[in-house]
Amino acid sequence: MPEWRKDPIVNRWVIIATERGKRPNDYKEINEGKQSQECFFCEGNEEKTPPEIISYREEGTSKDKPGWWVRVVPNKFPAVNIQGDPYRRDRGVYQYMDGVGAHEVIIESERHITGMDEQTEKQVEEIIWIWRDRSLDLRKDTRLKYIQIFKNTGRVAGASLEHTHSQLIATPLVPEDVRREIEGMREYGNRRGSCVICDMIRQEISEKERVVIDSGHFISFSPFASRFPFETWIVPKEHQYDFTQIREDQVRDLAYVLRNSLGKLTSLIRNIPYNVVLHSAPVNMGDEHHFHWHLEIMPRLTIMAGFELGTGYFINPTPPEIAAQALRETEEIFPIGQRYEREVPQYV
């Protein structure tokens, strides 16, 4: 059983993921070579994954069989476990509790492709809908307080399989980074009487120099205080605190902005490793109306070294104004055969 453990100095919680079973000898060699030819996530290999939780599939096809286009399964090596009790216990100066949570994998295509930018906008819409479906379902478990959706692309960014996928980890705690965002947005709202991200959107649209894509419902831009080269945020122009408030017209627009933002990034820098994280309001804790949900795209072009790890400060060698200009001016390049189309139903 995994375990949540609390650092008694800075009150930071960590997951001791016993289910993953890494031992000291496992770290002796870091393999960056090409991955195995066999892919568990490709259509036809459904029996090689845990049983699916949900899938969008063709009518008349069966669970854990071919015929799907987006599929969600439990992580085979979960960091947390749905079993257990989030009751905090003391052991001398230390505090811990069962490793309660949910860890799921969203397989974003039945085809063996490596990035969301290689999908059609229609397929990206389907991925966004299934993110929403899982978020709404998991919050029914009142033990869970936060649902983190994220995507790792490239080994440097933590992806162990190259087949395009995202993940979801639901936790009984609100992550510290999210808590700081909540507190910062609340403090700004109390002081200014407005939402800090709404004000950021207005300023970015006015100044234009850090904007990557300005669409109907969403804007993507390089943040003024970017931590990483080519860091990009995607935010809804309408103030929404909870990702699941997203409407059908917004899903279509988010699919366009997300796919094209990633497409520009991967066209500009070939094989770029990156992480995508979705920050939304906590669940089962009362509404945080001052919060403004958003997606963060974080390329992994620099290494966190001693200064960053020791201070928590980031050093970014590429000004966001230069990064945004380069991304704006970059056209997507799609190899022949990757403009894959399918008529699929909408989920609302």
Nearest to 283 by CA among 196, 211, 182: 182
Nearest to 130 by CA among 255, 233, 291: 255
d(CA 201, CA 240): 13
Written as six digits, the tokens of 122 are 């229609």
Beta carbons within 10 angstroms of residue 338's beta carbon: 14
Which sign does the torsion angle of CA 219, 221, 223, 229 carry? positive
Side chain identity, residue 332: E
Pair 299, 265: CB distance under 8 Å: yes
Nearest to 290 by CA among 182, 200, 201, 217: 182
Catalytic pick from 103, 163, 165, 294?
Answer: 165
d(CA 222, CA 317): 14
165 is catalytic: yes
Chain centroid, CA 249 distance in Å: 21
Nearest to 105 by CA among 122, 84, 130: 130
Supply the residues annotated as catalytic: 165
